[in-house]
Amino acid sequence: MSNIVNLFNNNSKEFINTQRWMVENKNLTNFETRKFSVPVLTSEMKSEYLNIDMEPHLINVIKNEINQDINKLFTKRLFTTNKFDYLDLRTDGSLMTGRKHLEQLVSLLTGDNYKNLITTGLITSELQDSSSFSPYMTTHDLKTSGLPECYGRLSNRVEVYNDPYMRYDDGRICLFNEVEFNIGEMKAYEAPYPGSFAPRIVIEYDIDYHVGDSKLIFVIENENSEAFKQYKSLQRDIKIDNILDGNNL
């Protein structure tokens, strides 16, 4: 286990994956400290995983956990916006029932000056059926473990990212340009797990980030859909904020 700790402490920045929409900015220094831990198998537990090389396995787990944590930070902030639009299909089928609906959605997604979008696996697969979609024919050289994966472009300008951690039926699409970030101190250390003798590796890292302009598109197929519930909830939140701010509705 100490080998993993030393490897991380000596090469911590190599554990961070990036995408084209992630822009490093060293001027961001208002850090918050994030922390998580991964379990280390005991001798008895290892006997059940004889075919697993534990050191590479732990390295991959740590890489995935830290990048997944970063992705959740960024996407949560991106999806927290009062700018939104919607495609209402409640009386007219779904994206899968006709190309007209799909092209209406593509028009919404490419009508502004956003360069990227993040959405679910379901919507990503539907967008790939559009005549405006250009798939990436080869895997690009960016490491994506723990991050949304880019599948291609719409109208040669909006990159389409599938977030595997979103609910398949979520129904939201987030349009944005970039996220600036800076990673500060990173460290790993060994610690016992509370209530157990099994050891764990604790990872701590400092991060500051700035999310630029973003916009949500809701694909509403029926009133029981997740997108419709989220759309109505956002409307209520905006009304409440306006009342608290003393604005006219």
Residue range(s) defining the domain that contains residue 18: 1-222
Mean pLDDT of the chain: 84
User: Given this model, what pLDDT does residue 242 score?
Assistant: 60
Beta-carbon contacts of 160 under 8 Å, excluding residues fewer than 6 positions away, are 117, 119, 124, 127, 133, 150, 151, 152, 153, 154
Q: How many CA atoms lie within 13 A of 79 on its CB side?
A: 19
Q: Give yes or no for residue 43 having a pLDDT over 60.
A: no
Contact call for residues 215 and 175 (beta carbons, < 8 A) = yes
The answer as to whether 70 is a domain residue is yes
**Domain-embedded: residue 238:** no
At 194 the pLDDT is 66
> Which whole-number Å values give the CA distances from 243 to 72, 192, 213, 231, 238, in the listed order?
30, 49, 24, 19, 9
pLDDT surpassing 90 at residue 36: yes
Asked whether 145 and 64 are in contact (CB, 8 A), the reply is yes
Residue 235 domain flag: no
In a domain, 230, yes or no: no
Residue 155 lies in a domain: yes
Greater confidence, 129 or 227?
Answer: 129
What pLDDT, on a 0 to 100 scale, did the predictor assign at position 116? 97
Pairing of strands 179-192, 22-24: parallel
DSSP annotation of 26: T
What's the average model confidence in pLDDT over 87-92? 73
pLDDT of residue 235: 65
pLDDT band (50, 70, 90) for residue 56: confident
131/145 Cα distance (integer angstroms) = 29
Average pLDDT of the residues in 8-25 = 93
Q: In whole angstroms, what is the distance from residue 92 CA to residue 98 CA?
A: 10
Residue 47 lies in a domain: yes
Looking at the DSSP bridge assignments, the partners of residue 103 are none
pLDDT for 243: 56
> 162 near 196, Cβ under 8 Å?
no
What's the pTM value of the predicted model, to 2 decimals? 0.82
Q: How far apart are CA 43 and CA 39, in angstroms?
A: 13
Per the rule left: phi > 0, alpha: psi between -120 and 50, beta: everything else, 152 is: left
Would you place residue 141 in the very low, low, confident or very high pLDDT band (cuts 50, 70, 90)? Answer: very low
SS3 (DSSP) at 20: coil
Kindly state the average pLDDT of the residues 34-48: 70
Q: Domain total for the chain?
A: 1
Question: Has residue 229 been placed in a domain?
Answer: no
Whether 16 maps to a domain, the answer reads yes
- Looking up tokens 């919507």 gives 123
